[in-house]
Amino acid sequence: MKIKKISKRLNKEKIIILIDGWQSFESLFYFIRESVPEEYGYIQYAYTNDTLNSNPIKTKENFLHLVDVILNDIKRLKTKKKRSFYMYGQSLGGLFCMIVSDKIKIEKIRLIIPGSNLAEAFWHGEGTIEVKNEMVKKYNMTLPKLTKIWDKISPDHYLKSKSLKTEFNLTISKNDFVIPTKNGKNL
């Protein structure tokens, strides 16, 4: 798993964390980065498509690694001076926002097409059918087993402590490639 970071103006007191969705297009986040006001700094995290893959344990490790990278970057920036952090996550990127916000203070989070349960979204999503079928074949996976394996990387496991002080703004889609609308409504 490779993580690409793009950052600008990290000396600012307000920092926006941008987290791509699975199989996102770089051009979309280019326009989002370009629209960040000058009084904000930003860090965009992009990850390779194999971050979510047919190996459920490796996927969990990949997700937790990305969360650790984000948390360590935020902590490092906080040690330099007092700052406020904001997050924008799209689809699977929203999952990382929810986990991070439960571990460290985030002022506001904007989630585009989030879901409540990772295993259910993955299992029933249109865009993940091929990966899911491979997981079933290679690892004899079922939805209940996957739900148990992925509980610590699922939004419904979080949203319990620090994140309760965060302001959330959610946009749910009827036609997301990965997260079914029902899963987003459950959130």
Alpha helices by DSSP H, the chain: 26-34, 56-80, 92-101, 118-124, 129-139, 143-149, 181-186
pLDDT for residue 67: 97
pLDDT for residue 18: 96
What is the percent of the chain with per-residue pLDDT over 70, rounded to a whole number?
96
Which of 22-26, 85-89, 123-127 has the largest mean confidence?
A: 85-89
Cβ neighbours around 166 below 10 Å, total: 20
pLDDT score of 163 more than 70: no
When divided into structural domains, the chain yields a total of 1
Q: Which of 5-19, 25-39, 63-77, 171-185 has the lowest mean pLDDT?
A: 171-185
The reported pTM is 0.91
Kindly report, residue by residue over 122-140, the tens digit of the pLDDT: 999 888 999 999 999 999 9
Domain range enclosing 100:
3-186
pLDDT score of 29 more than 80: yes
Kindly report, residue by residue over 97-121, the tens digit of the pLDDT: 999 998 999 999 999 888 888 999 9
What are 95's two structure tokens?
């999952």
Kindly report, residue by residue over 136-160, the tens digit of the pLDDT: 999 999 999 999 999 999 988 877 6
CATH of the domain at 42: 3.40.50.1820
Residue whose token pair is 């600008």: 8
Cα(97)–Cα(170) distance, integer angstroms:
12
pLDDT for residue 161: 66
pLDDT for residue 160: 67
Kindly report, residue by residue over 57-72, the tens digit of the pLDDT: 999 999 999 999 999 9
